Amino acid sequence: MMFKGSMTAIVTPFKDGRVDEKALRRLVDWQIASGTDAIVVCGTTGEAATLTYDEHFAVIDAAVEESAGRVPVLAGAGSNATANAIKLGRQAKEAGADAQLQVTPYYNKPTQEGLYQHFRAIAEVVDLPMILYNVPGRTSVNLLPETTARLSNIDSIVGIKEASGDLGQVREAIAKTPDDFALYSGDDAMNFDIYKAGGAGAISVTANVSPERVSAIWDAHDGGDDDEAERLHKELAKLNKAMFIETNPIPAKTSLAVMGRIQEEFRLPLTPISEGNRRELKDVLKEYGLI
């Protein structure tokens, strides 16, 4: 498989309304030093929906330059307009990303045929490996296993990030796609179960704040020790839950700010965490020795 392991869906740090490139580069270095197998920029956790095209390009460029080939960089390039997704995919290629992450078009609610034609159209003109991204809770559309199987026959479509929350759907998608087509967990609470089902890794939110622990679960599984992987996964349950105490990436960015790694800054319509949830989040971070 082209990419596998613990991959961090990294936040985009902001400072005074702009992308904080220095903080982003520090995060990339820390992630790599902590055992992360790939960096995923400009995804949901990276607040991609609020980035301008220029910022989108700058974030990918900085991550690629800072990683310097040590780990792959996967770039979110999705849009609910196929022409825009093509533009972003080409931009990711130009910036040197190793793959593009393409989310199912949100808001328009395309049919399964529409989803197939959308991804096929991008694959035909953007010369960059594509990972599909299925997250019905965000997009109101579910990429079904039959459609994933059709798309897996296109050479440049190499995998899918599955965040449907449906383990049955995950198993069906794995069963219906070729062995060299990768399925990645898009839900930290399900990482171990998806690994056991045949998943090739995770694109993780929790790895933003505890990359070593998330990596250790994959490494134990990949090394054949599922008992240890399951133990580590269960240990991480409270932190995984805390990362979704409010809309992602509010808890992850708040945590990183409390940990002293970034400024606590969001772009509307995302807002700072409520005070009650802040206290609860800090208690969890203390419990895991992160602050």
Identify the three-state secondary structure at position 96.
coil
pLDDT tens-place string over residues 252-270: 999 999 999 999 999 999 9
Single-letter amino acid, residue 273: I
Q: What is the pLDDT of residues 10-48, one digit of tens each?
A: 999 999 999 999 999 999 999 999 999 999 999 999 999
**Does 255 fall in a domain?**
no
Q: Can you give the pLDDT at residue 269?
A: 96
**Residue-range definition of the domain harbouring residue 16:** 5-225
pLDDT in tens, 162-180: 999 999 999 999 999 999 9
* Residue 132, domain CATH: 3.20.20.70
Q: Is residue 254 in a domain?
A: no
pLDDT level of residue 2 (50, 70, 90 thresholds): confident
Task: Please report the pLDDT score of residue 129 as a whole number.
Answer: 98
pLDDT for res 205: 98
Whether 203 and 184 have beta carbons less than 8 Å apart is answered as yes
Tell me if 271 is assigned to some domain. no
Tally of helices (H runs) and strands (E runs) in the chain: 13, 10
Instruction: Inform me whether the pLDDT recorded for 115 exceeds 90.
Output: yes
The amino acid present at 43, given as its one-letter code, is G
When divided into structural domains, the chain yields a total of 1
Q: How confident is the model at residue 210 (pLDDT cuts 50, 70, 90)?
A: very high
Residues annotated as part of the active site: 133, 161
Whether the pLDDT of residue 1 is over 80: the answer is: no
DSSP for 145-204, please give it.
HHHHHHHTTSTTEEEEEE-SS-HHHHHHHHHHS-TTSEEEE--GGGHHHHHHHT--EEEE
103 in a structural domain: yes
- Domain-located, residue 281: no
The two structure tokens encoding residue 124: 């035909």
Element containing residue 75 per DSSP (H, E): strand 73-76
When pLDDT is averaged across residues 153-167 and rounded to a whole number, the result is 97
